[in-house]
Structure 1
Amino acid sequence: MNIDSPRPLRLLVVDGNTREQRENHRAGFGTTPSEAYAEELRAIIPGMVTDICLPADEGANLPDGAGLSSYDGIFLTGSALHIYKGEPAVTRQIELMRAIYASGTPAFGSCWGIQIGAVAAGGTVAANPKGREIGFARRITPSEAGRRHPLLAGRPLSFDAPAIHLDSIIAPPADATILASNAMSPVQAAEFRQDGGSFWGVQYHPEFPLRQIVAILAQRTAILVDEDFRRDEAAAKAWLAEIAALDADPARRDLAWAHGLDEEVLDPVRRVTELRNFLEARVKPFASARSRA
């Protein structure tokens, strides 16, 4: 693992979904969002220990500050919840994120995860007035700060990534560095700082292989039709079938060209660039420093 400590890295994956939402995901994809996320992380660094936390559930056993500090890094998944509805399944997660900041443990979030990171630090999230970003976030462009930031190291000046979200950060926290944006969302990647802790996050889903996008959207074909992404259900299913075929064979140049996708999405190593960069730049040094102490 190229760190000073002989012990394996220990990570916490925080699942932002309710029990019903997790089981719906399992029915379509075979695993819950947090299980799938943990699998992607273990593929980057085999042998790491990944625990799962379920703060959306009433009565969930959530780690306190000392428990959070025992982890080398914390990852927050996406969620089908809406942060501005203020229900207990949401407020528990905001409070947990505040405790994560206070613990000083390196934290990273995708989609819902960056929204939780923003709100816990004083930012605002709302339904995107430009509508839903679905399937892929197109032409994500790093800011000047983003081009220098280790989170986006290795990404080109413009790239696409898997994405499914309606809500977006409309007012970042006071102590924020915006690292990337696109035409749909002014905050596609950012770093937030609060209570001595820092958070790196992205609005898109580097952890999603194409087959996971297909599994999620196969349960939402009505949205694809109702919001004019596809003309009818048959067209929606045909589109998803082509994405599934491209997942099965990323070398299908005809499908890659037809859907405007390149190695930033199709290469399983390049797709997870942000996860790998966070592990290398934040988690490993944090674990090494703690082992020396």
Structure 2
Amino acid sequence: MACVLIVKTGDAFPEVIDQHGDFETLFEKQLSTALPEHLTLRVWDARANTPAPSVGTLAAIVITGSHSMVSDAEPWSEALKPWLEEALANDTPMLGVCYGHQLMAAAFGGVSDYHPAGRESGTRTVRLTQAGQIDPLFRQLPERFAAHLTHAQSVIQAPPGSTVLAHNHHDAHQALRYGPRQWSVQFHPEFTAPVMRAYLERQREALRDQGEEPEVLLANVVDCQASSSLLQRFLTFV
């Protein structure tokens, strides 16, 4: 049976894991609601000392977020770059999220690093570009939609040949396309509102330090059904 591989690149905060599940579980919950019968979900922890699955055996690849930083160039993370290049050349459907977004961009010739304006956290408005409005994955979304975000690093420079599909006031590269069936997003379509609130609670002090108001951010958290729908729709390209 064909396999959709969830590439685990990190762990959520312990309280998030206890209450809602780890990153891979959040993806499994969302993807399983629309998983065709001919597909199965499999998790591979990229940080473990195990070989990467052969690209040719995979129906699709989904890359999770992480508390690691792409610019730290950890060996396990750097080892993923040629594997992702192979998957792109093979036209394997891919969707990278947060760390996965930044890692894909870096693997394909872009630059990911700390954002000069600091951390972006909370439920924020994201806007489609003209390219995003006609993109086969994104065109189902309204031009402006709410999305859950928590990141200190961003794609600072998009790879040559990539297409910017979404942006907002903080980040010029909220979503990118690299090939016919290869996308990545800075926001978290797998997050629910309770998960987003848990992240904001953990980040209160850091957010205050950069001039944010945690209580306002918490009050503004809403369900993000439009952005979450990307995960289910992605499966239609597998």
Question: TM-score, normalized by length of structure 2?
Answer: 0.88
Match in the other structure for 2:80: 93
Match in the other structure for 1:266: 223
Deviations 1:223-242 (A, max 9, x none): 23322323xxxxx4x668xx
How much has 1:26 moved relative to structure 2?
5.6
* Aligned pairs for 1:127-276 within 5 A: 127-138=114-125, 140-193=126-179, 198-230=181-213, 236=214, 259=220, 266=223, 268=225, 270-276=226-232
How much has 1:46 moved relative to structure 2?
6.3
In 1, the alpha carbon distance for the partners of 2:15 and 2:92 equals 28
How much has 1:176 moved relative to structure 2?
0.4
Q: Retained in 2: the 8 A contact 1:132–1:164? A: yes
- Counterpart residue type for residue 23 of structure 2: P
Q: Retained in 2: the 8 A contact 1:94–1:116? A: yes
Residue 44 of structure 1 aligns to a residue in which SS? Answer: coil
CA distance 1:129–1:223, change in 2 (3 Å): same
In 2, the alpha carbon distance for the partners of 1:16 and 1:114 equals 12
How much has 1:153 moved relative to structure 2?
2.0
In 2, the alpha carbon distance for the partners of 1:12 and 1:35 equals 13
Runs of 5+ consecutive residues of structure 1 not aligned to the other structure: 1-6, 231-235, 244-257, 284-293
Match in the other structure for 2:104: 117
Greater percentage in helix: 1
CA distance 1:30–1:266, change in 2 (3 Å): closer
Q: Retained in 2: the 8 A contact 1:71–1:105? A: yes
Q: Retained in 2: the 8 A contact 1:97–1:116? A: no
Residue 131 of structure 1 aligns to a residue in which SS? Answer: coil
Question: TM-score, normalized by length of structure 1?
Answer: 0.73
Is 1:77 matched up with 2:64?
Answer: yes
In 1, the alpha carbon distance for the partners of 2:141 and 2:164 equals 16
Deviations 1:69-104 (A, max 9, x none): 222211011111111111213212323322322333
Runs of 5+ consecutive residues of structure 2 not aligned to the other structure: none
Deviations 1:86-128 (A, max 9, x none): 1213212323322322333110111111111111111101111
Q: Retained in 1: the 8 A contact 2:111–2:156? A: yes
Q: Retained in 2: the 8 A contact 1:169–1:187? A: yes
In 2, the alpha carbon distance for the partners of 1:33 and 1:183 equals 26
Q: Which has the larger radius of gyration?
A: 1
How much has 1:267 moved relative to structure 2?
5.8
In 2, the alpha carbon distance for the partners of 1:154 and 1:31 equals 28
Residue 72 of structure 1 aligns to a residue in which SS? Answer: strand
In 2, the alpha carbon distance for the partners of 1:273 and 1:30 equals 19
Q: Retained in 1: the 8 A contact 2:16–2:195? A: no
Q: Retained in 2: the 8 A contact 1:135–1:162? A: yes
- Counterpart residue type for residue 103 of structure 1: N
Match in the other structure for 2:29: 39
- Counterpart residue type for residue 105 of structure 1: T
Match in the other structure for 1:15: 8
What percentage of aligned pairs have identical amino acids?
26
- Counterpart residue type for residue 60 of structure 1: T
Residue 192 of structure 1 aligns to a residue in which SS? Answer: strand
- Counterpart residue type for residue 70 of structure 1: T
Aligned length: 237
Match in the other structure for 1:250: none
